[in-house]
Chains A and B, each alone.
Chain A
Amino acid sequence: MNAVDLSKLEALTKDYAAFQARKSGLATALGGLMALLLIIVPIYKPVLDFRPGHLGWLQLMLATPLIWLALKGLLARWLYRGFGHVKCLPDVRAERTRWFCVFGISVFLGGFLTVGLVGFTSGVLGLPRDPAVLARALEKYHWALPPVWMTTMPLLYLLAAPWWIRGVEEARAYAVLVVQCCLWVWQLMVFAYLPWREGPEHMGFTGATIIGVLVLALAVTGWGALAMIRGWKEHREYLALLRTLPPAGGE
């Protein structure tokens, strides 16, 4: 091998190592697909119809970010380690960016829990003062209390983040999935505690809510499509990298 070949091989090794350090290839595409599924599934399946101790659509939906993390790890092991384990040179800037992404997710989750707490408190404050009406209101809200596992989901999302997120693309995919799941938890946690009123169940779907949900669904659909394209492109980069490798018997 001459100097040119060696430098070419060095560049290839660096690119290959990047797939083990921060690039995720098809895992990004899978993240996009899962984000789309989180929009499509609730349209066709009764996700809000859940019973304690029964594995329903809602449980599966809220576990999506964690399922994605697990599948991502498996995909990386199966697809992008064809030539064994390689370590990328440590990079302070990459490490800082990665942690900032995890920190951003944690701030969002903290903000989400804060909104949940304040919403819950204001909901309780909005309860009627007349004991008879109050008793009826409490009876009505009993079903709507979020189960313990749902309340601990934000904590689980953050617990998994720093050990599984490697690059910006992965952080973005994970953030989108977490935000979508949090919106579902929020729908169950906060809407029920809006100022109480007598009569039929108040669903909380105002004009602004519907527009907000539509805008969000469009944004997520757009991002999901882009993520699938980007992920596929990255996977093809990896395949190209394999093709450019010099044959084992080459001199």
Chain B
Amino acid sequence: MNTVELSKLECLTKDYAAFQARKSGLATALGGLLAIVMFLLYCLLVPISNGFRLHWPRPVVRILAILIFATPLLWAALKPLLGRLLYRSLGEVKLKPEVTYERQRWYWVYGIVMFLLLFQTAALLSFIQGFLGYLSHPPAVGQIPTDLPSHWRSWLWVGVMPCAYALMAPWCIRGREEARAYSVLVAQGVIFTVAGFSFRGVNYSAASEAWWGAVWFILQMVILGWATLAIIRGRKEHREYLAILRNLPREEA
């Protein structure tokens, strides 16, 4: 091997190592696909859980709900499997540690955790506001006992899921693409939690419902747009990896 070939091989090794350190290839595409699946499952869940024309057994509804809210965790579990299966065909390689890169990664984790904490704080505040609403509208007090089980069901998600999402963040985020995918899936989970939250008996109005509906629609369009781009980008990155494999010098050369 001459110097030119050696430097070419060095370049290829770096590119190959990047796939083990921060690039995720098809896992990004999977993130995009799961964001779309989450949306479709939610669209299926809403009419089922409201008993609109469809009458599915309760366990099916519950499994569907678990599937939706556990999707970010499912992606976090599938991603390393994909990385191991697809991007380690030439063995394990370690990229040189970089402070800037490490800091960026942690900024993403911090951003996600901050968002989840902000959501929990908002949830607690809205709960208190709802409680105060009951106090200032005495006729609504009589509704509390009938509404309580539904509040409990929806608020259990609010309480537990953000913690699980936050706990997984540093272990499943390696690069910017992965951070973006995980953020979108987590945001999707949080949006659906808010939509499922039913503590609105007191401050409910048709105008606020329309306003929230418009916000929800815009957010979903943005997420679906990102999901399509993520599928394209993930596929492109996977093809980059295949190109690396093709460019490798043959053993007998």
Contacts and interface: CB of A to CB of B under 8 A. Distances in A.
Nearest to B161: A114
Contacts of B42: none
Given A110-B117, A117-B158, A121-B155, A134 B110 contact: no
Contacts of B134: 138
Given A117-B159, A124-B131, A95 B117 contact: no
Interface stretch (A18-26, A54-62, A96-104, A231-239): A96-104
A117 B124 contact: yes
B151 A124 contact: yes
B80 interface: no
Contacts of B131: 124, 145
Contact of A103 (B109, B127, B132, B144): B109
Interface stretch (A151-159, A172-180, A218-226): A151-159
B160 interface: yes
A114 B163 contact: yes
B78 interface: no
Nearest to B167: A107
A106 B141 contact: no
Contact residues on A (Cβ < 8 Å of other chain), bracket: 35 or more
Interface in A88-116: 90-92, 95-96, 99-100, 102-103, 106-107, 109-111, 113-114, 116
B166 A110 contact: yes
Interface stretch (B98-106, B222-230, B238-246): B98-106
Contacts of A113: 117, 120-121, 124
A73 interface: no
A118 B109 CA distance: 25
A99 B170 CA distance: 10
Contacts of B248: none
Interface in B120-147: 120-121, 123-125, 127-128, 131-132, 134-135, 138, 141-142, 144-145
Interface residues of B, number: 42
B40 interface: no
B97 A158 contact: no
A43 interface: no
Nearest to A138: B135
Contact of B116 (A103, A110, A118, A152): A110
Interface of A: 90-92, 95-96, 99-100, 102-103, 106-107, 109-111, 113-114, 116-118, 120-121, 124-125, 127, 129, 131, 134-135, 138-139, 142, 145-146, 148, 151-152, 154-155, 158-159, 162
22 contacts: A92-B98, A92-B102, A95-B99, A95-B103, A95-B106, A96-B102, A103-B110, A103-B170, A106-B110, A113-B124, A114-B120, A117-B120, A117-B124, A117-B127, A120-B124, A121-B127, A121-B159, A125-B152, A131-B142, A145-B128, A158-B117, A162-B106
